[in-house]
Structure 1
Amino acid sequence: MGAFRKLLGGVGAATVVVGLVLAGALETVELAALSRLFELRGARAPRAPIVIVAIAEDSFDELDLAWPFPRALHGEVVEKLAAAGALAVGVDVLFPEPSVRGPADDAALGASVARAGNVVLGAGLTVVADGLGRRVDLNPPLPVIRRGAAAVAPVNVFGDRDGAVRRAPLTVGEGGAPGFDAGLHRVAVASGMPAAPLPARSEILINYRGGPGTYPWIPYYQVARGEVGPEVVAGKIVLIGPTSPVLHDLFTTPFARGGDMPGVEIHANVLETLIRGDRIREVPAWASALAAAAVALLGSALVVRFQALRGLGAAALLWAALAGTALALFLAWDVWLRGVTPTLALLLGYGATMAENFVREQREKRRLSRFFSPDVLRAVVRGRESASLGSSRRLVTVLFSDLRGFTSISEKLEPEQVTEMLREYLTEMTRIVFKHGGTVDKYIGDCVMALYNVPFEDPEHAVKAVRTGLEFQERTLAAAARWEAKYGVVIRNGVGINTGEAIVGTLGSEQRLEYTAIGDTVNLAARLESITKDYGASIIISESTYEHVKALFPTRALGAVTVKGKTRPVEIYAVLPSDIRKHTRAVLDAAATLTAGGRVCEVRTRDISEGGLALDGVPDEWTVGSRIQIRLEGGELPNPIVAEGTIVWRRGSGAGVTFTALDAESAPAVAEIIGRG
């Protein structure tokens, strides 16, 4: 599978995420995440010289006035603040209509604003819908009021899609006139306040210092009564505005999720952001989209590169790195890197590729399950080992097994009976192949072809093939009596095994591929199976296989034979099943001391006959052909048994010994044990 094909899930995820970003579908979630970043950062103490004159219930009570207050009173407050040394005064109160108290009230406010000389008045923006569409109208203060103002600008705050206020406009209208906060910034700078220059952009992300009450609030009534000294406002920007809930000027912000931040305090946060020049810098959405696309591909690559758990761990580390980077950028440098988009991209890239891999694995498992054992199959499909299904030359051991006389058996039975018997037989033989680490190459009627040392390297491939053949014989003999009673037919099994190089891999046509092996090694194994009946042997192995297993299994040399298709004779050997008995045997559990060439080992006996005994716990270095001295004692033996013998077979830690000499005093003891049975 090509690299691009493996990453299709990531490509699809990247496409989806980029599409969502371009459509703005993720922006609301990203904005909510930005608010969480503010909360994680926590509030910061304000450092800009800003105070708020708060119009709240206490002022209603103390002044015994209802809203709206007399405009002349606002004028008095403005003049007192200017006289106390305020650098700039921002009025977050609208005066678009004449005062209910008459023109003199408006004129008094206008005169006070003009005398102060540093007042920025707020205007209102309204959206009007008519037959021509929607338009935005500016509702400034009355001319008599605004004539002497240092600046007039819209005081509105605007929420994002979720209603929270995070941005502030710096310019208004097509001409780019300064907004309310930018106007105050300019007036304060002109009055001598040191401040960062205004950014050359139409809006900024507000760097909020905290929630309601972060900036000092001065009750409006105290200023009106002259109870506030110059030290409170001198050299500062003073904002006048409502903070009472009854005046409906409260908003949601990152630090005020309950929607209780007064608009006037939002302006205080904007002003501090402008004065300090520390606006939240935003990584553009298009850059986040490109980063997300890369993350989606990387998430997909993690699945391709690693196993499931490793890939999940790597993906978790990648996400932690992304989240940590986004958090560090925000905390240390006031940079907002959108984190939801790459997180979603990682989840989709990883998840889509995992799903695609799962579907592919299931498809591959169905195709390959008849060749490999479940454990090998999992490794092959997931590519966890050095398995290669491509064709290559390699050393293999090939096993062919066939039911003798199956054609004549088929003629005697009904097709349904043949099918049932064959299914049972092949199922059991396949289980045995898988048990010993083999791969089922194919079934040819009643014949089973199995490969060893594929698709993974296995240094014991020849040994495992012979063990498979021996277990074939045992299971076939066990089934033979049952089938003879049920169907009236006698079955026997022949096995041929050869070791050598072959071409192994996925071979076939463009329409159909099979995992198989081809070559002379395969052909010879098939020929050896076909001559087992001629030699009266159940298992015949070639000389190359014999060299791998001669120290572990009892064998009998059959000489050289020229098989069909070969011009040179081949030395062949019969493997003798370990349960072939020439003498009656009896179970015996006794301690056995083996001595040979200065080596000594202590083992246990399994059974004994007049011709030899079977042992358990024999070390691997005591190989077939070893001549040994034997001493048995303990257990059921009244007296020790002493003998000499030769190891004639090995299976695991078990060993079979043929006596070559039995001590004269020990022979009666052996006969007595066998007699007891």
Structure 2
Amino acid sequence: MFHHLTNKRGAILIGLAALLSVLTLQVAGFAGTDRLGLLLFDRYQRAAPRAFEDAGVRIVDIDDESIRRLGQWPWPRTDVAALVRKLTAAGASTVAFDVVFAEPDRTSPALLAKRVGLEGGAAPIVAALAAMPDHDTAFAQTLQEAPSVLGYFLTREGSAAAMPPKAGMAVVGSPPSAGVPRFPNAIQPLAPLRDAASGGGFVSLIGDADGIIRKAPLIAFQGDQLMPALSLDALRTAQGAGSITVKSSDASGEYGGEGEVVSLKTGRFEVPTTHAGELWMYYTAPHPERVVPAWKILTGQLSASEMEREFSGRIVLIGTGAAGLRDLVATPVQDRELGVMVHAQAIEQMVLGKFLVRPDWAVGLERSLLLALGLILVLALPLIGAVRGAVLGAVLVGGVGYGSWYAFRADGFLLDPTYIVLGLSAVYAVETVWTYYREERQRAYIHRAFDRYLSPDMVKRIVDDPGQLELGGEEREMTVLFCDIRGFSRLSEQLDPQTIIRFLIAFLTPMCDVLLNRKATIDKFIGDAIVAFWNAPLDDPEQYANAARGSLAMVERLAALNRDCPPDWPGNVQIGIGLNAGPCCVGNMGSAQRLSYSLIGDTVNLASRIEGLTKLFGVQIAIGSALAAHLPDFAVLPLGRVRVVGRAASETVFVLLGDEALAQDAAYRAFAAGHGVLFDAYHARDWAGAAALIEAGSDPAAGYGLAKLYDLMRDRIAGFAVDPPGADWEGVFEATEK
């Protein structure tokens, strides 16, 4: 019991160590495991993307067809200005560009005049071009007249003058510092364009380590100045709001470190964010109605009423989706998505209030569940075993997984079950491996102890349930077999030692196979003799029938060997088998230096003597009366009452001729009836009647292998007829040999 408890304690300790290791990884943050959680959230979005609702956002896409129809990008700024005017005339609340106009328009007349002059063009032509309106100036005037927002890139390369913010940034609580990205430089629009626009926002999108855009940054630092993203400033501009409010954790009553952003507010919209001021993106499936190709607007493909229906009161984002312009990104639901689509869907989420949120209590809940569920599995697994432990683990993992999925679907909560699943898996793996290692050592011990005298099936049963095995002496009701080769001494004289060994191997191997198949335990080999028994060390409710069938099968197998004559087989080999049943003492016996699992008792001694009587009676299988009583359906006949050497009490010995099929044979039944009458006449001292029965039954007796018995009975009856036994005679024959 102490050893059993020690094994369980070891499993618990190693499981607890695995659990604490995973908890340490969770607290420290392991990039590989964290990425698994993100991939799980991606699968959630693919399985249940945000339902599309028209939130008043449209994308004008400068796609491949637009470039084919209107010329390569960049287009003249006059064309871009015309696009803005058409959208404004259609009632767009804001026109925002996911395009950075950082260089002058190469098609402006002044630049063309300079180039023509350098190439030796005519002076009047140069002068005429120089006098024409500048395209960038015309575009700036259009921007000034329209609610417009220009984009710019934030970079970490070099440094430049700060990008002047278009909107005030008010901070409630500690200044945001934890995690909000910082950039020293910005690739800005041309100053006239920047100054003319109503708003400005950065368009930089930085994916996770695998390049997928899961979070859209809404604020960032350029130097010490907080700057809004294009999506956030477009929403501000559309409302005519003057500022953006940044709320930190210490001003919100939420859990978090100092300077961690929890939300942003512009106008009437408040947006929950990560501590770095990012918006968890909740993408929809693709919806083509969001996107209008630029060529349809500039070529007049859309009528005035269609333009108004598409753009009136809506925030319009202009982006470049043409393959050559490469503004394509990967999202959880699309491998190739327009970069401007991320900004558009961010605005939709802010307008609709449909957010994915990683609550401030999520980490605490995940760690608590990891500890609680992990401890349950740690403590339960040694008690319930690997299979039921796997079921319990699957239930716990399934419950955590379903809880995470339900939280996503019902509330938009992002609860990461990765570390919990990893912890439960680690606990199960290490405890199962530990238990398997411990049990394999135990199995190896049992195999070493028993595989030489137990059948493989019985060894497997003990290995599977060692509790069935009680080592040490115990008394059991058992069946014992002794088998010996007839005339082995004579064979030994004729054969050299190596041939004898090969013959014994050829004989003993199939005989033992037969016995092991009948659930026998091989006790020992005594030269050419086999000693085996049934009903130990495991219970065998069919021990008597198994012993009988095993003995009959040995006789059949020997007949086949005599027919086939394997190499070194010395002709026609015969055996005698003695079987007996009764109480025996069985267990590990021997000395402190060497033990053997064996049995002792009168039942064993009598079985050995019965095997010796097979030579006297000329039969192959002789059994004791106790065993015969347990085989009522087998072909069993009496051989006589015998007092064996070394035993005072007499024993009625029987011959086992066959199984139930022979016992039901009509000819056998007739012979068995006559055989019984013969023995009745013999014990009744009816010598004349017994002699007549002997003569009548001799031929069928020979057919059943009982010719020697009948010859022996004939001689005894003839002798008793001349010299009758005394009054105390009980029909007992005194055996003089073992």
Q: TM-score, normalised by structure 1?
A: 0.64
Would you say 1:243 and 2:321 are equivalent positions? Answer: yes
Structure 1 pair 335–559 and aligned structure 2 pair: CA distance change class (3 A): farther
Report the counterpart of residue 574 of structure 1 in structure 2. Answer: 653
Equivalent pair of 1:295/1:345 in contact (CA under 8 Å): no
Report the counterpart of residue 49 of structure 1 in structure 2. Answer: 56
Would you say 1:182 and 2:257 are equivalent positions? Answer: no
Residue 94 (structure 1) shift: 0.6
Report the counterpart of residue 249 of structure 2 in structure 1. Answer: none
Equivalent pair of 1:396/1:453 in contact (CA under 8 Å): yes
CA distance in 1, matches of 2:149, 2:57: 15
Residue 525 (structure 1) shift: 4.2
Which has the larger Rg?
A: 2
Would you say 1:531 and 2:612 are equivalent positions? Answer: no
Any stretches of 5+ residues in structure 1 without a counterpart?
A: 581-587, 593-602, 615-624, 626-643, 648-660, 663-667
Equivalent pair of 1:497/1:528 in contact (CA under 8 Å): yes
Equivalent pair of 1:465/1:497 in contact (CA under 8 Å): no
* SS of equivalent residue, structure 1 residue 397: strand
CA distance in 1, matches of 2:137, 2:674: 127
Structure 1 pair 166–304 and aligned structure 2 pair: CA distance change class (3 A): same
Residue 106 (structure 1) shift: 4.7
Report the counterpart of residue 283 of structure 2 in structure 1. Answer: 208
Residues 460-488 of structure 1: per-residue CA shift (max 9 Å, x gap): 223323443455566668878979x9659
Letter in 2 for 1:249: D
Equivalent pair of 2:512/2:522 in contact (CA under 8 Å): yes
* SS of equivalent residue, structure 2 residue 285: coil
CA distance in 1, matches of 2:233, 2:585: 87
Equivalent pair of 2:374/2:423 in contact (CA under 8 Å): no
Residue 124 (structure 1) shift: 0.9
Report the counterpart of residue 499 of structure 2 in structure 1. Answer: 417
Report the counterpart of residue 639 of structure 1 in structure 2. Answer: none
Equivalent pair of 1:72/1:108 in contact (CA under 8 Å): yes
Equivalent pair of 2:479/2:543 in contact (CA under 8 Å): no
Q: How many residues align?
A: 592
Equivalent pair of 1:165/1:252 in contact (CA under 8 Å): yes
CA distance in 2, matches of 1:511, 1:331: 70
Letter in 2 for 1:419: I
> Which region of structure 1 is more displaced relative to structure 2, 466-475 or 209-218?
466-475
CA distance in 1, matches of 2:384, 2:455: 24
Residue 92 (structure 1) shift: 0.9
Equivalent pair of 1:559/1:573 in contact (CA under 8 Å): yes
Structure 1 pair 97–323 and aligned structure 2 pair: CA distance change class (3 A): same
Structure 1 pair 324–376 and aligned structure 2 pair: CA distance change class (3 A): farther
CA distance in 2, matches of 1:350, 1:363: 22
CA distance in 1, matches of 2:96, 2:157: 27
Equivalent pair of 2:674/2:697 in contact (CA under 8 Å): no
Residues 162-191 of structure 1: per-residue CA shift (max 9 Å, x gap): 444333223323866443333344555665
* SS of equivalent residue, structure 1 residue 576: strand
Residue 346 (structure 1) shift: 6.6
CA distance in 2, matches of 1:212, 1:557: 101
Structure 1 pair 430–356 and aligned structure 2 pair: CA distance change class (3 A): farther
After TM superposition, list the pairs within 5 Å mapping 1:449-528 onto structure 2.
449-454=531-536, 457-469=539-551, 471-472=553-554, 487=570, 492-495=575-578, 497-500=580-583, 516=597, 522-528=600-606
Letter in 2 for 1:68: P
* SS of equivalent residue, structure 2 residue 656: coil
Structure 1 pair 540–241 and aligned structure 2 pair: CA distance change class (3 A): same
Report the counterpart of residue 73 of structure 2 in structure 1. Answer: 67
After TM superposition, list the pairs within 5 Å mapping 1:306-345 onto structure 2.
306=387, 334=412
Residues 51-88 of structure 1: per-residue CA shift (max 9 Å, x gap): 123334565577x5653244466566557756765454
Match of 2:468 among 382, 388, 411: 388
CA distance in 2, matches of 1:673, 1:450: 32
Equivalent pair of 2:478/2:536 in contact (CA under 8 Å): no
Equivalent pair of 2:366/2:416 in contact (CA under 8 Å): no
Structure 1 pair 253–414 and aligned structure 2 pair: CA distance change class (3 A): same
Letter in 2 for 1:95: F
* SS of equivalent residue, structure 1 residue 275: helix
Would you say 1:125 and 2:173 are equivalent positions? Answer: no
Structure 1 pair 379–319 and aligned structure 2 pair: CA distance change class (3 A): farther
CA distance in 2, matches of 1:198, 1:579: 89
Structure 1 pair 219–510 and aligned structure 2 pair: CA distance change class (3 A): farther
Would you say 1:264 and 2:270 are equivalent positions? Answer: no
CA distance in 1, matches of 2:15, 2:491: 57
Would you say 1:252 and 2:252 are equivalent positions? Answer: no
Report the counterpart of residue 153 of structure 1 in structure 2. Answer: 201
Q: TM-score, normalised by structure 2?
A: 0.60
Match of 2:666 among 605, 610, 616: 605
Structure 1 pair 65–461 and aligned structure 2 pair: CA distance change class (3 A): closer
Residue 249 (structure 1) shift: 1.3
Letter in 1 for 2:482: S
Report the counterpart of residue 734 of structure 2 in structure 1. Answer: none
Structure 1 pair 559–164 and aligned structure 2 pair: CA distance change class (3 A): same
Structure 1 pair 74–571 and aligned structure 2 pair: CA distance change class (3 A): farther
Would you say 1:168 and 2:222 are equivalent positions? Answer: no
> Which region of structure 1 is more displaced relative to structure 2, 228-237 or 542-551?
542-551
Residue 154 (structure 1) shift: 2.2
Report the counterpart of residue 725 of structure 2 in structure 1. Answer: none
Residues 299-343 of structure 1: per-residue CA shift (max 9 Å, x gap): 999995449xx98x9999999888777766655555567799959
Residue 452 (structure 1) shift: 2.5
* SS of equivalent residue, structure 2 residue 271: coil
CA distance in 2, matches of 1:216, 1:39: 21
User: Among the aligned pairs, what percent are the same residue?
Assistant: 23
Residue 423 (structure 1) shift: 1.5
Equivalent pair of 2:407/2:415 in contact (CA under 8 Å): yes
* SS of equivalent residue, structure 2 residue 185: strand
Any stretches of 5+ residues in structure 2 without a counterpart?
A: 111-132, 160-181, 242-265, 681-688, 705-738
Structure 1 pair 415–493 and aligned structure 2 pair: CA distance change class (3 A): same
CA distance in 1, matches of 2:32, 2:593: 46
Richer in helix (by share): 2
Letter in 2 for 1:155: V
* SS of equivalent residue, structure 2 residue 153: strand
Would you say 1:91 and 2:97 are equivalent positions? Answer: yes
Residue 397 (structure 1) shift: 1.6
Equivalent pair of 2:479/2:533 in contact (CA under 8 Å): yes
Structure 1 pair 395–546 and aligned structure 2 pair: CA distance change class (3 A): farther
* SS of equivalent residue, structure 1 residue 531: helix
Equivalent pair of 1:397/1:461 in contact (CA under 8 Å): yes
Report the counterpart of residue 634 of structure 1 in structure 2. Answer: none
Structure 1 pair 256–412 and aligned structure 2 pair: CA distance change class (3 A): same
CA distance in 1, matches of 2:217, 2:594: 68
Match of 1:436 among 518, 525, 541: 518
After TM superposition, list the pairs within 5 Å mapping 1:544-583 onto structure 2.
548-549=630-631, 553-554=636-637, 572-578=651-657
* SS of equivalent residue, structure 1 residue 123: strand
Structure 1 pair 497–171 and aligned structure 2 pair: CA distance change class (3 A): farther
